[in-house]
């Protein structure tokens, strides 16, 4: 399925990698970036030097700082903005004619929860409150074990395309079936979103454990598998509490698959953040979790699990859920407990 016109909104690593994969299949892809230097490097050097350095991008991929232009006239839009900025970014394109009339099929890569006056919201719920009524029930959520680096290298990767609209799920599934990508459809939109958001929280704890295990007589590979399994249970617990519909979501690539690669891969930013908590004392400059989130740009990469952690904690309190691992990370990031003390407490 080639020759499609696609706009990608967000030029971070994952948005860039997806744009490159789609452009490599002879689609015409345009990516929106906020920064002039990103646009210049993509257009002139076929590389995103700021957010995705070292990866040669398809000549079919162009970039622009004009978000309206990138969204206009496209058959498909892929939203790849970080969760912290998603609502404001989506609002900028809500009145583009092909979006306003529902003729453009919209896929979403953003992971995490989005704050609102009514409490944390899922990504698609947030977008449906910002985008035109025609988008309600028609958005497609894209997730799975998919580090940007390996997607850009063409290494075989599996994804889930989840939507309340089966036809749109199939449309995006077929669009994404480019060399290196295997894509499956799902109707469990809530379950897939929960997996994508909460696995980042577990991965930070995993990174802490991995760093401590390097010199520990108490923790090892067995312990890491224990943590991974317990973390998956918590993801499933919050998923069903929020309306997930299919148990197999959590045992599929969107659940255990994405959790495993996020925890274990060398490319994982959330695992790296957990590792840096132990090895670099990266939390030292921050008073608590709110201070960390307010100043998160001071970290040279974005650990979305730190942001998601605050919202998972709020959701767990509102729904009276017992999530010891997620709650433990909240206490760590809020400077209430040391990681080693927590791990000894929760894993013994």
Which residues does the annotation mark as catalytic?
Answer: 199
DSSP secondary structure letter of residue 298: G
The strand pair at 5-9 and 28-32 is best described as parallel
Distance CA(265)–CA(48), nearest Å, equals 22
* CB contact at 8 A, 146 and 157: yes
CA atoms within 13 A on the CB side of 343: 24
192 close to 162: Cβ distance less than 8 angstroms? yes
Give the DSSP H or E segment for 159. Answer: strand 157-162
Question: Which residues are registered as beta bridge partners of 59?
Answer: none
DSSP states along 216-250? -SS--HHHHHHHHHHHHHHHHHHHHHHT---THHH
The residues pairing with 106 across neighbouring beta strands, listed in sequence order, are 77
Name residues whose C-beta falls within 8 Å of residue 261's C-beta, 6 or more positions apart in sequence. Answer: 145, 146, 147, 268
């Amino acid at each position: 399925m080639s020759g499609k016109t696609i706009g990608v909104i967000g030029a971070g690593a994952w948005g860039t990698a997806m744009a490159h994969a789609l452009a490599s299949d002879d689609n015409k892809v345009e990516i929106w970036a906020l920064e002039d230097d990103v646009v210049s490097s993509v257009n002139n050097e076929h590389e995103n030097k700021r957010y995705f350095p070292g990866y040669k991008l398809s000549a079919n991929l162009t970039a622009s700082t004009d978000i309206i232009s990138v969204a206009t006239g496209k058959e498909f839009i892929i939203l790849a903005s970080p969760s912290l900025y998603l609502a404001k970014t989506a609002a900028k394109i809500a009145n583009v004619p092909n979006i306003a009339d529902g003729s453009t099929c919209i896929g979403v890569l953003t992971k995490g929860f989005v704050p609102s006056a009514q409490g944390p919201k899922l990504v698609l719920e947030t977008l449906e409150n910002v985008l035109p009524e025609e988008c309600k029930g028609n958005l497609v959520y894209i997730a799975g074990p998919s580090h940007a680096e390996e997607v850009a290298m063409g290494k075989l990767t599996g994804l889930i395309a989840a939507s309340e609209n089966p036809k749109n799920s199939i449309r995006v599934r077929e669009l994404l079936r480019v060399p290196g990508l295997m894509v499956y459809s799902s109707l469990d939109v809530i379950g897939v979103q929960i997996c994508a958001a909460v696995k980042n929280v577990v991965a930070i704890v995993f990174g802490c454990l991995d760093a401590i295990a390097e010199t520990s007589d108490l923790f090892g590979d067995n312990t890491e598998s224990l943590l991974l399994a317990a973390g998956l249970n918590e993801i499933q617990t919050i998923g069903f509490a929020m309306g997930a519909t299919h148990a197999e979501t959590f045992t599929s690539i969107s659940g255990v698959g994405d959790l495993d690669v996020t925890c274990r891969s060398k490319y994982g930013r959330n695992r790296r953040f957990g590792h840096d908590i132990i090895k670099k004392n990266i939390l030292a400059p921050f008073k608590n979790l709110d201070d960390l989130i307010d100043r998160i740009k001071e970290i040279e990469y974005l650990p979305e699990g730190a942001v998601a952690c605050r919202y998972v904690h709020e959701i767990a309190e509102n729904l009276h859920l017992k999530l010891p691992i997620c709650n433990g990370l909240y206490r760590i990031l809020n400077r209430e407990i040391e990681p080693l003390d927590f791990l000894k407490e929760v894993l013994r």
